[in-house]
């Protein structure tokens, strides 16, 4: 199966109602996907080691979703075996006073990975055209100008050898209800539930429109968006691992040459 099945094509209108949330691709069950996903994750570990050793490229992975969309779970499962020395995760909350004193992209650029590193954004610079739009934190004339600014920012990153992979974890409203209820029913997960989640849920339609605009206007050849069916967590993990591995296998990541004279060394 090609990643193009889930890639938002540049310049084409995105209507999320036409994108499946419960697709399972070539698999009929979770069990069928178990070994292929395990194989991808093993390969990702190998590729991340080469990324770190070669220092030729950086990888920026952007995760966005509705509340309970599965960002944390995806990070936990897909990146479970990578070396933490070469991979970081950044979650963006409300900006601090220092961050507000800069342009809105400043804190995101500051967190971008250096070459050899992999960085995962759990939420991202797209909050500036999502939350700030829906909650009317920024006026339309401000957030509507940001799509091009974001495209320019990501184009610059790509030109500087950062591979930008963006994933929208696409769940249904029914599945969100199920997951939010599960948090309420499980005392060990109550900390993950916030009453504000219900306010956001009431704005499902407005957030959907905001996501559609972001996916349509900011899926580019330099930094494509992938719309991942995420009602089934196991399939979400397969799509993410498959897409990331495919992208990394295209990179030139030679191992650095060994120090001279190693062939003459004998360990006593």
Give the percent of the chain with pLDDT over 70: 99
- Give the per-residue pLDDT at 251: 97
Handedness of CA 171, 90, 220, 141 (dihedral sign): positive
- Element containing residue 142 per DSSP (H, E): helix 140-143
Confidence band of 125 (pLDDT split at 50, 70, 90): very high
- Give the per-residue pLDDT at 162: 98
Residue 229 has φ and ψ, to the nearest 5°, of -60, 120
Instruction: Look over the chain and give the mean of its residue pLDDT values, rounded to a whole number.
Output: 95
Instruction: Give pLDDT tens digits for 87-102.
Output: 999 999 999 999 999 9
Structural domains in the chain? 3-252 (3.40.50.300)
Sorted by sequence, the CB contacts under 8 Å of residue 244 that are 6+ apart come out as: 44, 59, 61, 78, 165
**pTM (2 d.p.):** 0.95
């Amino acid at each position: 199966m090609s990643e193009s099945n889930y890639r938002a094509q540049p310049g084409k209108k995105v209507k999320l109602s036409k994108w499946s949330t419960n697709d399972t691709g070539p698999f009929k069950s979770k069990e069928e996907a178990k070994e292929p996903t395990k194989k991808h994750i093993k390969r990702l570990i190998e590729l991340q080691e080469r990324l770190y050793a070669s220092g030729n490229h950086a990888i920026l992975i952007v995760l966005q979703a509705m509340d309970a969309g599965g960002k944390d779970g995806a990070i936990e499962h897909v990146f479970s075996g990578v070396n933490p020395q070469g991979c970081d995760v950044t979650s963006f909350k409300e900006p601090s006073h220092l961050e507000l004193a800069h342009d809105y992209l400043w804190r995101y650029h500051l967190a971008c990975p250096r070459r050899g590193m992999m960085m995962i954004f759990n939420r991202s610079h797209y909050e500036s055209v999502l939350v700030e739009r829906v909650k009317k934190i920024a006026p339309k004339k401000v957030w509507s100008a940001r799509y091009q600014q974001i495209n320019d920012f990501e184009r610059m990153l790509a030109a500087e050898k950062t591979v930008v992979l963006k994933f929208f974890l696409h769940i249904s409203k029914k599945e969100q209800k199920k997951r939010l209820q599960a948090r309420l029913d499980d005392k060990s997960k109550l900390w993950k539930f916030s009453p504000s989640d219900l306010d956001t849920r009431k704005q499902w339609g407005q957030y959907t429109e905001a996501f559609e605009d972001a996916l349509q206007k900011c899926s580019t050849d330099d930094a494509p968006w992938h719309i991942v069916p995420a009602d089934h967590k196991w399939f979400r993990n397969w799509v993410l691992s498959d897409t990331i591995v495919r992208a990394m296998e295209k990179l030139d990541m030679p191992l650095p040459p060994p120090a001279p004279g190693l062939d003459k060394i004998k360990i006593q």
